[in-house]
Amino acid sequence: MLNNDCIFCKIIKGEISCAKVYEDGKMLVFKDIEPKAKVHLLAVAKDHFKLISEADEARAELIKYMLMKIPQIAENNGCDNGYRLVINQGEDAGQTVFHLHIHILGGEPLEQ
Ligand code: 5GP
Ligand code: ZN
């Protein structure tokens, strides 16, 4: 299910444009508008939920599906020498968009 008030749902619906690098029926991957690394992609689930703690079996399968797809997508987009995956969860992590997404960061050596 998508949400009318969510920016990532609007991107999924095509109401807001994005620099898309991959899409299928379950996920959308596009470039972060404020990149924190040379390559900074966002893998967004095509289901509106905020936290991994909200994952039921179907959502857990969706997260697994995304994790299985990400290596090829990352390699195809300049992260052939490694990358970092980040999922910010809630306020202390600085989550700003409350729709589950996985940051893919790479394209250069990342700070530890
Ligand atoms: P969070 O802090 O919630 O884990 O990450 C949200 C990310 O979404 C941020 O890195 C931010 O730059 C990115 N972002 C927010 N709004 C937009 C947008 O409209 N388009 C794109 N491409 N990225 C966005
Ligand atoms: Zn959403």
Measured in Å, residue 58 CA sits from the centre of ligand 1 at: 25
Of ligand 1's listed atoms, the one at least distance from the Cα of 88 is 4
H or E segment to which residue 106 belongs: strand 101-106
What is the per-residue pLDDT for 110?
98
HEC profile of 3-62: CCCCHHHHHHHCCCCCCEEEECCCEEEEECCCCCCCEEEEEEECCCCCCHHHCCHHHHHH
Residue type, 95: Q
Measured in Å, residue 81 CA sits from the centre of ligand 2 at: 31
pTM (two decimals): 0.97
Residues catalogued as catalytic: 101
What is the per-residue pLDDT for 11?
98
Q: Is the CB of 95 under 6 A from ligand 1?
A: yes
Q: Is the CB of 85 under 6 A from ligand 1?
A: no
Q: Is the CB of 17 under 6 A from ligand 1?
A: no
What is the per-residue pLDDT for 31?
98
What is the per-residue pLDDT for 95?
98
pLDDT tens track, the chain, 112 positions: 999 999 999 999 999 999 999 999 999 999 999 999 999 999 999 999 999 999 999 999 999 999 999 999 999 999 999 999 999 999 999 999 999 999 999 999 999 9
